Amino acid sequence: MVDGPMHVKKLNLVQLEELAAEIRHELITVLAKNGGHLGPNLGVVELTLALHYVFNTPKDKFIWDVSHQIYVHKLLTGRKERFPSIRSTGGLSGFAVRAESEHDCYGAAHAGTALSAALGMCAARDQRGSDENVVAIIGDAALTNGISFEAMNNVAQTTKKFIAILNDNEWSIAKNVGAISSYLNKLITHPSYNKLARDFERFVRRLPKGELALKLAHKAEEGFKGALAEVGLQPSPSSIEADGRGGYGNSVIFEEMGIRYLGPIDGHNLSLVISTLEFAKTCDHPIVVHVLTKKGKGFDAALKNPEKFHGLGPYDIATGATLPTKAGTPTSWQDVFGQAMVRLCQKDSTLVGITAAMPSGTSLKFLEKAMPNRYYDVGIAEEHAVLFACGMATMGFHPVCAIYSTFLQRAYDCIVHDAALQDLPVIFCMDRAGLSPQDGPTHHGLFDISYVRSVPNCIAMAPKDEDELVDMMFTATHEPHPTFIRYPRGPGEGVPIKDQPRLIEVGKAEVIQNFNNHGGRKVALFPLGSMMKLGRKTAEQLAREGYDVAIINPRFVKPLDAGATQFFGRAAEVVVTFEDHVIMGGYGSAVLELFNEKRVTTPVLMVGWPDQFIEHATNVDDLRNKYGLTVENVVARVKAEMAEITPGAQRSDFAVA
């Protein structure tokens, strides 16, 4: 394995191919232990080698869309020693992070950002008159995302030098969907679309064979011929003629937008990809190179099941089987949601499910299978998903948008301007609300309470267990307002689901455990949603230490149960709010706002995440321990707070009926 990109350039073709095999071995071995995005990375081994062969990072810039396919780049840019630590506590991130390496010029993990960011870099380069090459590498599914088109709309008028690589493997996480995906398929399969510009042919012919041979060793000649044969298959004279409107007078969409299109080429043919990138580097007009790759190449199990191997946990190298879930592990929140969607849709013909390219992640796949006509996958297009839902809602439907908390951030304006302002009954099931530990800050869902709570008309809730999740979904279907339900990743609490869901009174909290008035000092715990477990354990420990503890399940962040919150707030000497969310603007803040308004002076300890981006880690516990979301820490804080308060000054003897 090489130490840095400079070494890649010294290799001949045979050595590059050997390196490709070594890289695949490393990916398969390390990810078998750590989990991660195996399929996408196996697919870009040759492409990444070719990029480093032709360009010079960090001076040249590679901007990876999503950047889940950046592992090979990490291995080639001085991080091979640390690679076995990827996605674990203190280890390498699974995505591009500027702070991690000078070779990562742009951080990402949400889709569709690469073209815009790359264009911005081109504009900056042109402004300052420097000569870096800027290369955006995007997947075919990134083209289902609106931002990519916003960027393409802007390329030709902004710069002359812009290189995009369209890494087309026909898959998003699931099979790519929609008209763009069919269009790309046409480009691949229909000979008349193969656009291989004559100047590329000329370029390849002009390359001094000797020099190329030197570079690529004895196979260079074949590679060179391969390039000509493959690329010269269907030369299209029209593709290089400007049409006077900024386009190239061709029905290839990129060319219509003033971006030269080259391809499709075999992304696993190293010499061909190298020649093509060498050409792209010389172009003095924006260019997109369409590269065909196979997700999972080099690992049979991944080739056979691209969806599973897009991103997965540890697996067995021999069979590709993922480790079995431990016996007795409760059904995941996601699966409970997916199964409940089927049951609810069977009873209520106004319900439909909408996903933005995450049928398996959200488990909306259950609905896809059971009732395909009530299921919509709109592609990686969260804004569109929400607006689409709003449109349906105006026609009497109750659309359910199943979107991860972190990805819903992208559709914030649609929530405010469309769903909330028009007060439409769209239901938002915000999956992954809380930590996604191995993915890290790009994927944690820690902001949704604050971004929803401040918007009028919205109802926001968080279930303490999976049965309550179903009750909340059912309740939401009866609401004429936008409703938001947040729940975390992973196994539920193991609570059985009732046969018939129950309506929950909106804005009503649930008293789980009342004070028992045994004379101990009173503490009221308000654990929101899945923090109930931490709340209960904290209560047990406090009780062991002689405190009189009440536990209230808030259920609603908005509208807050003002009565119950005040009542227990006044009765207790100390109130503790728990939330799997940033403290700022979250549930605890809502309680404080209420207390301020109602002049409740009981101190409120807020347990949640601090005002900083929380890094990735091997698991949730590592992060909770580090940031003090633990029983020990909460108990210590309660005791410290109690020590500050004169006993009896608060209404600690308040009798609760």
What positions carry a catalytic annotation? Answer: 295, 382, 410
Q: Which of residues 536-595 bind ligand TPP (CB under 6 A)?
A: none
The binder of ligand TPP chosen from 110, 365, 486, 489 (CB under 6 A): 110
Q: What residue spans of 248-381 are helical by DSSP H?
A: 253-256, 270-282, 300-304, 333-347, 359-362, 365-370
Q: Which of 461, 359, 365, 349 is nearest to 398 (CA)?
A: 349
Residue nearest ligand TPP, Cβ-based: 139
Question: Does 447 help bind ligand TPP (rule: CB under 6 A)?
Answer: no
Q: How many CB atoms lie within 10 A of CB 156?
A: 19
Q: Which of residues 285-304 bind ligand TPP (CB under 6 A)?
A: 295
Q: What is the dihedral of CA 227, 231, 235, 237, to 10 degrees?
A: -90
How would DSSP label each residue in 291-320? EE--TTTT-HHHHH-TTGGGSBS-B-TTT-
Q: Which of 474, 469, 502, 503 is nearest to 486 (CA)?
A: 469
140 within 8 A of 168, measured Cβ to Cβ: yes
Through-space distance between the first and last CA atoms of the chain, rounded to whole angstroms: 71
What ranges make up the beta strands (E) of 150-273? 163-168, 260-266
Question: Does 169 help bind ligand TPP (rule: CB under 6 A)?
Answer: yes
Distances (CA, A) of 368 to 82, 364, 484: 40, 6, 22
Only one of the segments 106-114, 238-246, 250-258, 484-492 lies at the binding site for ligand TPP (rule: CB under 6 A); that segment is 106-114
Min dist. Cβ of residue 83 to ligand TPP (A):
19
Min dist. Cβ of residue 39 to ligand TPP (A):
7
Only one of the segments 46-54, 105-113, 181-189, 524-532 lies at the binding site for ligand TPP (rule: CB under 6 A); that segment is 105-113
Only one of the segments 48-56, 103-111, 500-508, 542-550 lies at the binding site for ligand TPP (rule: CB under 6 A); that segment is 103-111
Cα–Cα distance, 236 to 250 (Å, whole number): 9
Cα–Cα distance, 245 to 360 (Å, whole number): 43
Question: Does 270 help bind ligand TPP (rule: CB under 6 A)?
Answer: no
Question: Does 308 help bind ligand TPP (rule: CB under 6 A)?
Answer: no
Cβ neighbours for 78, distance < 8 A, ≥ 6 positions apart: 3, 4, 101, 103
Question: Does 227 help bind ligand TPP (rule: CB under 6 A)?
Answer: no
The binder of ligand TPP chosen from 111, 117, 240, 259 (CB under 6 A): 111
The binder of ligand TPP chosen from 139, 296, 399, 586 (CB under 6 A): 139
String of contacts with ligand TPP for each residue 387-416, x by CB under 6 A: --------------------x--x------
Q: Which of residues 40-59 bind ligand TPP (CB under 6 A)?
A: 40
Only one of the segments 22-30, 107-115, 538-546, 586-594 lies at the binding site for ligand TPP (rule: CB under 6 A); that segment is 107-115
Question: Does 279 help bind ligand TPP (rule: CB under 6 A)?
Answer: no
Distances (CA, A) of 519 to 266, 541, 564, 605, 649: 76, 17, 21, 22, 14
How would DSSP label each residue in 437-449? TTT-TTT-B-SHH
Which residue's CB is nearer to ligand TPP, number 377 or number 471? 377
Question: Does 73 help bind ligand TPP (rule: CB under 6 A)?
Answer: no
The binder of ligand TPP chosen from 24, 68, 374, 558 (CB under 6 A): 68
Min dist. Cβ of residue 77 to ligand TPP (A):
19
Min dist. Cβ of residue 143 to ligand TPP (A):
8
Q: Which of 565, 579, 526 is nearest to 549 (CA)?
A: 526
- Assigned token pair, 398: 């109750």
The binder of ligand TPP chosen from 46, 60, 132, 140 (CB under 6 A): 140
Give me the residues that bind ligand TPP (CB under 6 A), please. 40, 65-66, 68-69, 109-111, 139-142, 167, 169, 171-173, 295, 310, 356-357, 380, 382, 407, 410
